[in-house]
Amino acid sequence: MLTGIHFLLTYKCTFECDHCFVYSSPDAEGVFTIARVENALKQMKETGTVNNAYFEGGEPFLYYPVLLESLALAKSMGFKTGIVTNAYWGESERDAELWLKPIAEIGIDDLSISDDLFHNPDGGKGPAAYALDAAKKLGMPVGDICIDKPKLIENADAKKGEPVIGGGALLKGRAAEKLIGDFPRREYSIFDKCPHEEFEKPSRFHLDPYGNLHPCQGISVGNMWEKPLKDIMNNYNPMKHPILSHILKGGPAKLAEEYGFDTSPGFVDHCHLCYEVRKTLLDRFPKELAPRQVYGL
């Protein structure tokens, strides 16, 4: 049952992180207007099941007035709310408190702050740490998100001789090009399921500024500017989707087989294979694989 919508308030970001699976950057295009946010919130209310509204990106604080008004609208309509940010604005605890105080006054159920080496490569106390301190001082429910770079790890359950890749970064989007490095490639057929997303009965979608609903970034199951969310959900059938249907039948391996993808190079993990297959299908399925910028185009 669908219970949450995560707004990609913008694809633009202050950073251009190697691990970003939506290809955010300072030059990325796409931002919500407040009218679009209000439209989406009304559609969410009409479903009768959606009760969570998250605002993320990109970096949602780049459009601070829109973020504040979006949060206020969501709270007034009875949604639980959350924000994900890299806290670029936290130059000091005092500065961070200035940015966060209006949000604390509106009320928020979760504030997640990215605090890792992708966002703070020099280590030490940076903007995210100041923002965390300020949020706690204001009594806000806050936590940090720390994404590790991919790495080879030991795994007693792995098949003999099979390398295992660990770390928090998902190898799709920019990560599929920047973080693959010299990691060992594995035979494609072992990637016979999606270990990360529940496509059959999703509990949350990401909604981007173009109206695309993503169960996984870069895979669209409908467009809310073209068809109401309630109708999209009433007619949701992943087994009729040209991408999801094959993933559900046999993971990225099945998707590759169905569309004759060259699997000879081998792949690091499930996301790596799935992303590379989807990139070759962009022209064939432009509505289902959107927007192209999530694929670096």
Reported as a single tens digit per residue, the pLDDT across 240-257 is 999 999 999 999 999 999
Q: What is the pLDDT of residue 19?
A: 86
d(CA 239, CA 109): 35
What's the pLDDT at 150? 59
List, in sequence order, the alpha helices (H) in the chain: 34-47, 64-76, 93-106, 127-137, 175-178, 229-234, 244-258, 270-280
Can you tell me the mean pLDDT for 130-147?
89
Please check the confidence at residue 147 and state whether its pLDDT lies above 60: no
pLDDT of residue 158: 47
pLDDT at 161 over 50: no
Calpha distance 264→11 (Å, rounded)? 33
- Mean pLDDT, rounded, for 232-241: 97
- Residue 171's pLDDT is 84
Rounded Cα distance between 23 and 25, Å, is 7
- Helix/strand/coil (H/E/C) assignment for every residue in 159-178: CCCCCEEECCCCCCCCHHHH
Specify the pLDDT at position 165: 46
More confident residue, 227 or 171: 227
pTM: 0.90
Considering the chain, what is the average pLDDT of its residues? 91
Q: Quickly state the pLDDT bin for 295 (edges 50, 70, 90).
A: very high
Listed residue (29, 44, 84, 17) closest to 293, CA to CA? 29
Average pLDDT over residues 209-219: 97
The yes-or-no verdict on residue 30 having pLDDT over 80 is: yes
Provide the pLDDT for residue 21.
87
Residue reference for tokens 């504030």: 111
Q: Does residue 160 have a pLDDT over 80?
A: no
Lowest mean pLDDT among 86-90, 145-149, 231-235, 254-258: 145-149
Instruction: Report the alpha-carbon angle 118-95-76, nearest 5.
Output: 90
Q: How far is residue 252's CA from residue 189's CA, in Å, rounded to a whole number? A: 9
